Structure 1
Amino acid sequence: MKKITGIFILSFFLLFLFSCKNSNTTTVTEKENKNHVENKKEHKDCKDVHWSHHKGEEGPENWKNLCDGFKDCGGKSQSPIDIQTTNVKNDKELSSPEFHYSDSKVDIINNGHTVQFNVTGDNFVKLNGKDYKLLQFHYHALSEHTIDGKHFPMEVHFVHKNSDSDFAVIGAMIKEGKPNQLFEKYLEHFPTDKGEYKSDETFNILNLLPENKSYFYYSGSLTTPPCSEVVNWYVLKTPIEASKDQIVKFSKILNNNYRPVMPLNGRAVELFNE
């Protein structure tokens, strides 16, 4: 009888521990969901908070203190970074990006922080087995990422999002060279102040990209507030080109709209060679 009672008590104790474990797992999940909702609310509350790329109280070094929704700007997985080419490792599990871009109309917006192209149509890229829809692309001068400590005159970011709300941003450095096709077509329409230009013309965005699609990959963040650490970064190894005159003209509209490079903090930077 004592033996049976002992077995019953032991079984009850194990069942109790198992229940507690499941309960704790549920609590963690609920907490993560709650934090996600709160972060979205905090970001919404920050929509009227002014920030800048220039030094000072509203500058990059202080973004994390401007609003609770910007606290990720002080996180450990921030972008951009300096890509040290001698420290990257080849990753055979990465694959070549498959671009499905077509002729599209664009709305050109100067939002005071960048010149952004909102894209119409069903443009997407397949990256390592996942489809990401192209939302927009925009420009920075100087480049945000640096390669072996060096800036390029400009950088363009192609911002994509998938059905799981994961972001994939493809970054392409811009060096001085032959005229850029998109700049030739639209540069005269870039709003010089905050504003928008709607174009009835179409343009195939694929023409902006280099033939060689080798890239550096790492996990990071948005480079502007709220600096959410939700971005898979694909920085193309081969730069694209724009003429000196085009770069100068863009810089007269927006210049120094780049965030300084952030610490890598142990993150791996991987290389896919096409």
Structure 2
Amino acid sequence: MRPSEKTKEKIAKEQRFLMSLFLMLLAITVAQSGVPANPDDWCYETQAKALSCPGPASWPGTCKGFMQSPVNIVISNTLADPKLNDFFTYIGYDRQYPWTIVNNGYTILVNLNGTIKISGGGLEDTYRAMYVQFHWSDSLKKGSEHTINGKPYAMEVQIIHIRDKFQKLEKAIQSTEKDAITIMGFLIQASNNKKHEGFQTILDALDQIPYKNNEVTTKPMSLYDLIPDLKDMKHFFRYKGSLTFPSCPENVIWTVFKDPLQVEEDQILQFSKKLYYNEKGQIDIPMTNNYRKMQKRGPRNIFHNRVERLLPHTWSVFLTPLLTCLLAIFLY
């Protein structure tokens, strides 16, 4: 006997109900299997191995975009940009302030007071310095986020700036402007020379902030204390990219300086020995390898601000017509 239309409709409703129930149960199962309740939760690979948190492959936001950072800078593939030949203007970089340093569970974050600013260097606006953050490893052979010609460095120091019209980094992150944020990246090379005094001030404070959410105020220091060679660091690379942590917004102008800073080996290794990702009272997870792996450059160009020297064959291109002209004048 063929079912009536009313019976068919009843069966269809039951099927829809069962399908909805199945999808609801599936969503609950997925949520319980590791998807964080807080969409802002994320962690580095070393944390992901010890905790139930999403590692780099599962980072939220735009972290799977096409203009992500960091990148490997191949010098021979960079392009000269005359606009970058202007000198930077550093405003307040020499002023000494007591800095608040926070262990935020990912790195140590130095909270600047917002009165330190930068302009020039091809930037189209004035930017205020908000934070200094550090990336490192438990090895002196890696730790930096950016690499040059495939070479990693022991550490990278990044000064995060936002356009002067913004008051907070969060506002710049939410902005649709492609140059809302600019970051200056400094590669750190391990050295056997004398201690770096600026880094030592930071290191002296680490003993008081071993765990997540710990914070301390340093003795007064300036950004020039941390990066004393800044005025002499003229050669840099420039490209458009992103923050290297979630939500990885792609509205960052990067400046990566070519010449590394020299910091004593033991000073660099102290970061991995003194700091932990976790809060006090939890299982200690050393804060190390807190750098993002290399991202694809894609079709982006990376620019440099200075041509080191003219190539030999380039000289001949200019020299031949010059000599011809001088000879013509002499014979005339």
Report if TM-score (shorter chain) is over 0.5: yes
- Structure 1: distance between partners of 2:289 and 2:144: 9
**Partner residue of 2:295 out of 262, 268, 271:** 262
- Structure 2: distance between partners of 1:185 and 1:200: 7
> What amino acid maps onto 2:115 in structure 1?
D
Pair 1:83 & 2:83 matched: no
Pair 1:58 & 2:51 matched: no
- Structure 1: distance between partners of 2:66 and 2:241: 9
Confirm or deny: 8 A CA contact 2:205 2:218 kept in the other structure. Answer: no
Confirm or deny: 8 A CA contact 1:107 1:196 kept in the other structure. Answer: no
Confirm or deny: 8 A CA contact 2:144 2:153 kept in the other structure. Answer: yes
Structure 1 runs (4+) deviating above 4 angstroms are none
Q: Which residue of 2 aligns with 1:107?
A: 100
Using the size of structure 1 for normalisation, the TM-score is 0.76
Pair 1:173 & 2:187 matched: yes
Confirm or deny: 8 A CA contact 1:160 1:168 kept in the other structure. Answer: yes
**Partner residue of 1:140 out of 115, 135, 138:** 135
| 1:200 to partner: Cα distance | 5.6
1:30-55 CA-partner distances (Å, limit 9, x unpaired) = xxxxxxxxxxxxxxx633x2433436
Pair 1:226 & 2:247 matched: yes
**Partner residue of 2:201 out of 185, 199, 212:** 185
- Structure 2: distance between partners of 1:96 and 1:53: 38
**Partner residue of 2:87 out of 96, 105, 110:** 96
Confirm or deny: 8 A CA contact 2:101 2:110 kept in the other structure. Answer: yes
Q: Which residue of 1 aligns with 2:112?
A: 119
Confirm or deny: 8 A CA contact 1:98 1:126 kept in the other structure. Answer: yes
Using the size of structure 2 for normalisation, the TM-score is 0.63
Q: Which residue of 2 aligns with 1:154?
A: 155
- Structure 2: distance between partners of 1:245 and 1:52: 24
1:90-111 CA-partner distances (Å, limit 9, x unpaired) = 1111122211112122111111
- Structure 1: distance between partners of 2:214 and 2:109: 9
Q: Matched residue pairs, number? A: 223
| 1:71 to partner: Cα distance | 3.2
| 1:180 to partner: Cα distance | 2.1
Larger Rg: 2
| 1:182 to partner: Cα distance | 2.1
Greater strand content: 1
**Partner residue of 2:125 out of 108, 121, 130:** 130
Q: CA RMSD in A?
A: 1.9
- Structure 1: distance between partners of 2:83 and 2:115: 27
Equivalent residues in 2 for 1:208-227 (5 A)? 208-209=226-227, 210=229, 211-227=232-248
- Structure 2: distance between partners of 1:151 and 1:232: 21
| 1:220 to partner: Cα distance | 0.1
Q: Which residue of 1 aligns with 2:314?
A: none
Q: Provide the identity percentage.
A: 29
5+ unaligned residues in a row in structure 2: which ranges? 1-37, 137-142, 167-171, 173-179, 276-286, 308-332
> What amino acid maps onto 2:110 in structure 1?
F
1:193-228 CA-partner distances (Å, limit 9, x unpaired) = 113333262111123333213210000000000001
> What amino acid maps onto 1:51 in structure 2?
C
- Structure 2: distance between partners of 1:139 and 1:92: 30
- Structure 2: distance between partners of 1:207 and 1:89: 32
Confirm or deny: 8 A CA contact 1:105 1:201 kept in the other structure. Answer: yes
More deviation, 95-104/143-152: 95-104
5+ unaligned residues in a row in structure 1: which ranges? 1-44, 64-69
